[in-house]
């Protein structure tokens, strides 16, 4: 009991330190791991082998944590060299030129590039590559980059749901539960593409009348050579070949033959050798801080599971859902989304994996996997509910490039978009598990949407001038009162 309280408080403390950015996340995580070690050693008399199992897993779970760490390291080698070769900038700029500089096609292409690049890179690296590229294009075209930057930031997390390797939560979930590349893509990736299309439609209606590009600036965009982004052409082709070969092998080779982490690491090492780059330079750019951070989280989460905290959490949420698989899956979706909105989704995912296992233990095999798919959706999408985490980086990059964006606008679009995405996923799970109820929800939602559109056209379009004048008059009176006060 005492151990459970100490380790839970330790986990909360680590989350607060990371959230407030008071301590480096790797140091915070490893400090929490040490507290967990001493707590279990002196209060539970746990052997050292238990902590090794927390760190790398064991034979029963297939050494799941070790596989996760190797997979992340292997993909980091590939991504780092592809970035050095200019692969992502070249592809991105080439696609942008195809839009002819037209505002709405430009918005759609930037959004599409963001989703597919973030499916391969982590969110932070995607933002670091694409936001400066977007700002460069905005300078060429002499336009405000804010709408393009905000929509890209919102869509980064959809790209993070496309493949098992697209985000750390996906890697943790798929390696923990044994979900294959194909299974994940068919059940999460394809649905995320549908969510992406729905989000694009939403962006179209929001920005269709707000985006304009001066005609004379479009010619300048067409004259820029995308090969300027490529410093080493042979390395460019080698990187593309290895990247697509690894993606193909991950899709077609079953994990029981060769595991995904070994495929990724093999591709990474081969690319390091054939790239002829200095291996020390490549290794120095690998994110070892992330790996240390994960190791600490593995030990803390393992300690919480060891003392039964996960069972308490799982059974507590399970009692709320009444042992109903449909309600449980929706609960996992919304709880994971709101928790990851203000807390790093890596520790949240690591904690919620065993909690989801407890909640779904009496369900059918198909329903159990659906519960984990729901967790993947929630953990990835929740990041956009608040302008925190990776989104702060977006704001900082924009400010450094003298193209500041409004946190208020960011929050407004991110929150509304994410709620709509979660509602769409709720309807999807309803259709999947309660078909008749799902059909009725779609019918009633369509009728409600139709009524809103009709009311908008009848009331707003007819009286908008009067409403605008009254609102302007009200604001003027308010300003006068403030001055007098």
DSSP letters of 361-381?
A: TTS-HHHHHHHHHHHHHHHHH
Task: List the one residue out of 200, 208, 197, 107 whose CA is nearest residue 148.
Answer: 107
3-state helix vs strand vs coil in the chain, percent to 5: 80, 0, 20
Q: Is the pLDDT of residue 62 over 80?
A: no
What pLDDT is stored for residue 485 in this prediction?
A: 55
Q: What is the DSSP string of 7-39?
A: HHHHHHHHHHHHHHTSS-HHHHHHHHHHHHHHH
Q: Model confidence at 187, in pLDDT bands (50, 70, 90)?
A: very high
User: Average of pLDDT values for 438-460?
Assistant: 75
Q: Model confidence at 190, in pLDDT bands (50, 70, 90)?
A: very high
Task: List the one residue out of 163, 79, 152, 86 whose CA is nearest residue 119.
Answer: 163
Least confident of 186-190, 333-337, 438-442, 466-470: 466-470
What pLDDT is stored for residue 472 in this prediction?
A: 61
Q: CB-based burial of residue 447 (10 Å sphere; 0-12 exposed, 13-18 middle, 19+ buried)?
A: exposed
pLDDT tens by residue, 313-336: 777 777 776 678 888 899 999 988
Q: Is the pLDDT of residue 353 over 60?
A: yes
Q: Is the pLDDT of residue 276 over 70?
A: yes
What pLDDT is stored for residue 393 in this prediction?
A: 60
Contacts 24+ apart (CB under 8 A), 89-93: 89/129, 89/133, 89/229, 90/226, 90/227, 90/229, 90/230, 90/236, 91/117, 92/117, 92/129, 92/130, 92/133, 93/133, 93/137, 93/224, 93/226, 93/229
What pLDDT is stored for residue 235 in this prediction?
A: 93
CB 286 within 8 A of CB 93: no
What pLDDT is stored for residue 462 in this prediction?
A: 62
Q: What percent of the chain has pLDDT over 90?
A: 16
Where is mean pLDDT largest: 60-64, 190-194, 362-366?
A: 190-194
What pLDDT is stored for residue 390 in this prediction?
A: 60
Task: List the one residue out of 449, 436, 418, 347 whose CA is nearest residue 198.
Answer: 418
Per-chain mean pLDDT for the chain: 82
Question: What CA–CA distance (Å, rounded) separates 111 from 124?
Answer: 16
195 vs 477, which has greater pLDDT?
Answer: 195
Q: Model confidence at 457, in pLDDT bands (50, 70, 90)?
A: low
Question: What CA–CA distance (Å, rounded) separates 482 from 471?
Answer: 17
Least confident of 77-86, 138-147, 430-439: 138-147
**DSSP state letter for 121:** S
Q: Model confidence at 34, in pLDDT bands (50, 70, 90)?
A: very high
Give the SS3 label for residue 356.
Answer: helix
Domain ranges of the chain: 87-229+322-433
Q: Is the pLDDT of residue 255 over 60?
A: yes
User: Average of pLDDT values for 182-191?
Assistant: 93
Q: Is the pLDDT of residue 285 over 90?
A: no
Q: Is the pLDDT of residue 467 over 60?
A: no
User: Average of pLDDT values for 448-463?
Assistant: 68
pLDDT tens by residue, 106-156: 888 888 888 888 888 777 667 777 777 787 777 777 777 788 888 888 888
Sign of CA dihedral 290, 296, 299, 305: negative
Taking the CB of residue 229, how many other CB atoms lie within 10 A of it? Answer: 19
195: which 2 tokens?
């969510």
User: Average of pLDDT values for 172-186?
Assistant: 89
164 vs 397, which has greater pLDDT?
Answer: 164
Q: Is the pLDDT of residue 90 over 70?
A: yes
Residues 6+ apart with CB under 8 A from 334: 378, 422, 426
> Could you give the maximum distance between any two Cα atoms of the chain, in Å?
78
Taking the CB of residue 109, how many other CB atoms lie within 10 A of it? Answer: 17
What pLDDT is stored for residue 100 in this prediction?
A: 74
Q: Model confidence at 269, in pLDDT bands (50, 70, 90)?
A: very high
């Amino acid at each position: 009991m005492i151990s459970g309280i100490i380790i839970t408080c330790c986990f909360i403390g680590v989350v607060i330190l990371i959230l407030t950015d008071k301590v480096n996340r790797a140091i915070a995580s490893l400090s929490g791991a040490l507290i967990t070690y001493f707590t279990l050693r002196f209060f539970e008399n746990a052997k050292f082998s238990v902590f090794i199992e927390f760190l790398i897993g064991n034979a029963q779970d297939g050494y799941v944590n070790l596989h996760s760490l190797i997979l992340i390291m292997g993909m980091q080698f590939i991504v780092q060299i592809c970035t050095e070769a200019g692969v992502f900038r070249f592809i991105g700029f080439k696609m942008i030129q195809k839009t002819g500089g037209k505002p709405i096609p430009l918005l759609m292409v930037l959004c599409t590039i963001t989703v597919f690049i973030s499916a391969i890179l982590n969110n932070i690296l995607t933002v670091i590559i694409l936001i400066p590229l977007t700002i460069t294009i905005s300078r060429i075209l002499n336009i405000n980059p804010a709408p393009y930057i905000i929509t890209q930031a919102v869509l980064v997390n959809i790209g993070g749901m496309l493949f098992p390797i697209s985000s750390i939560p996906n890697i943790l979930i798929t390696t923990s539960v044994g979900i294959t590349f194909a299974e994940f893509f068919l059940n999460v990736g394809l649905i995320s593409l549908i969510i992406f299309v729905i989000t694009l439609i939403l962006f179209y209606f929001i920005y269709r009348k707000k985006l304009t590009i001066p005609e004379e600036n479009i010619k300048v965009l067409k004259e820029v050579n995308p090969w300027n982004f490529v410093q080493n052409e042979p390395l460019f082709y080698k990187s593309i070949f290895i990247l697509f070969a690894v993606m193909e092998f991950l899709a077609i080779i079953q994990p029981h033959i060769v595991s995904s982490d070994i495929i990724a690491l093999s591709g990474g090492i081969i690319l390091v050798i054939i790239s002829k780059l200095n291996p020390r330079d490549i290794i120095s750019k690998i994110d070892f801080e992330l790996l240390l951070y994960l190791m600490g989280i593995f030990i803390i989460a393992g300690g919480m599971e060891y003392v039964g905290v996960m069972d308490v959490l799982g059974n507590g949420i399970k009692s709320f859902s009444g042992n109903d698989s449909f309600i449980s899956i929706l609960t996992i979706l919304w709880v994971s989304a709101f928790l990851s909105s203000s807390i790093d989704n890596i520790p949240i995912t690591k904690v919620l994996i065993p909690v989801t296992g407890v909640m779904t233990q009496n369900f059918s095999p198909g329903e159990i996997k659906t519960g984990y798919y729901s967790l993947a959706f929630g953990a990835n999408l929740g990041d956009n509910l608040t302008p925190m985490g990776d989104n702060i980086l977006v704001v900082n990059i924009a400010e450094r490039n003298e193209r500041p964006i409004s946190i208020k606008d960011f929050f407004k679009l991110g929150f509304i978009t994410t709620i709509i995405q979660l509602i769409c996923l709720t309807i999807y799970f309803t259709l999947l598990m309660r078909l008749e109820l799902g059909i009725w929800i779609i019918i009633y939602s369509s009728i409600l949407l139709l009524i809103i559109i009709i009311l908008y056209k009848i009331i707003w379009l007819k009286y908008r001038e009067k409403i605008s004048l009254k609102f302007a008059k009200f604001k003027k009176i308010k300003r006068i009162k403030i001055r007098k006060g």
